[in-house]
Amino acid sequence: MGPGVDRGSEAQSVVGERTAVPEDLREPIIAAALRGKAPEALLTPLLERGWSDVEAAAAIDALLRSHLESHARAHDLPLPKRVPAPAGLNDRPVIDAGDRRVHVLASLLHPRVIVFGDLLSARECEALIEAARPRLRRSTVVDPVTGGDQAHEARTSYGAGFQRGETELCRRIEQRIARLLDWPVDHGEGLQILRYAVGAQYLPHYDYFDPAAPGNALQLARGGQRVATLVIYLSTPESGGATLFPEAHLEVAAIRGNAVFFSYDRPHPMTKTLHGGAPVRAGEKWIATKWLREGVHR
Ligand code: PD2
Ligand code: ZN
């Protein structure tokens, strides 16, 4: 059925071209999305009515966005933001990240967590560790009142930050992450390298900035809210050091070259992205963290 053909009850959604999902399909499509049905499969009812892929994808995107927005308003929640996600992930065990094929080892919808395998080579992990080693300082957390950095017992690691694009290796890894997560390089903070010795840990926390805390205003002015985190494991500790998601009862093992990604579409515990780094029991744990912002980070 081509555009402009009379489709009875659907006619109101067709003004020259198809823009809105017909009334009778809205509820079933929203319910299917909430059950975690793959985005491509959501298009089927519209494709069966003769819609093109592009028209159907745009209409479903608008329908789901407006559903989330009205749900947020009704429950007095912050509005959801677009978040990074691998393009066309469904059922694909391997993603082409430009210069490397990255494995998808595990994926959870809520909280949105994806475990990647082989994101970095062993040589890249070693090179990042050696570049960071001379710069290591006791890790800090942001003071929510002043916005300043402060050492804290919740984070007993040592860290070193790189500016975005600071070295050729940083640039290569940033390009790969941007391609993997379909998120522009300039929406990312610089790579942050952390080293945990035996006993060091990172107590559970959220990575987004609390918008109500005055000390976060400066951070929020530089690229907006954080919307996703990628923790890349640069070493494999002999024991301990997993990344924990207590609300999801999920533990991700720290294996060199692998990474755990999680996104949070609003700065709210409803994202269930509470996470921490378990104490290292034996050996050393090194990670590189990439935080992704909603806008250009300067
Ligand atoms: O090292 C980790 O597993 C970990 C845990 C929680 C890292 C971060 N948060 C982080 O870098 O934000
Ligand atoms: Zn964190």
User: 277, 285 in Cβ contact below 8 A?
Assistant: yes
Q: Among 197, 194, 204, which Cα is nearest to 280's?
A: 197
Length of the chain equals 298
Which structure tokens are listed for 272? 């269930």
CA distance 298 to 293: 10
Find out whether the beta carbon of 289 lies less than 6 Å from any atom of ligand 1: yes
pLDDT digits (tens, 9 = 90+) for 174-184: 999 999 999 99
State the pLDDT at residue 99. 97
Q: Select the more confidently predicted residue: 164 or 140.
A: 164
Q: What's the pTM?
A: 0.84
Most informative mutation of 243, 244, 262, 286 for ligand 1 (most atoms within 8 A of CB): 243
Among all bound ligands, the one having the nearest atom to the CA of 157 is 1
pLDDT at 2 over 60: no
pLDDT digits (tens, 9 = 90+) for 126-151: 999 999 999 999 988 777 777 777 77
Find out whether the beta carbon of 128 lies less than 6 Å from any atom of ligand 1: no
State the pLDDT at residue 10. 40
Which residues on adjacent β-strands are paired with residue 292?
188, 228
From the CA of 180, how far away is ligand 1's center (Å)?
20
Q: Among 170, 267, 286, which Cα is nearest to 216's?
A: 267
pLDDT digits (tens, 9 = 90+) for 198-257: 999 999 999 999 999 999 999 999 999 999 999 999 999 999 999 999 999 999 999 999
Q: Select the more confidently predicted residue: 41 or 190.
A: 190
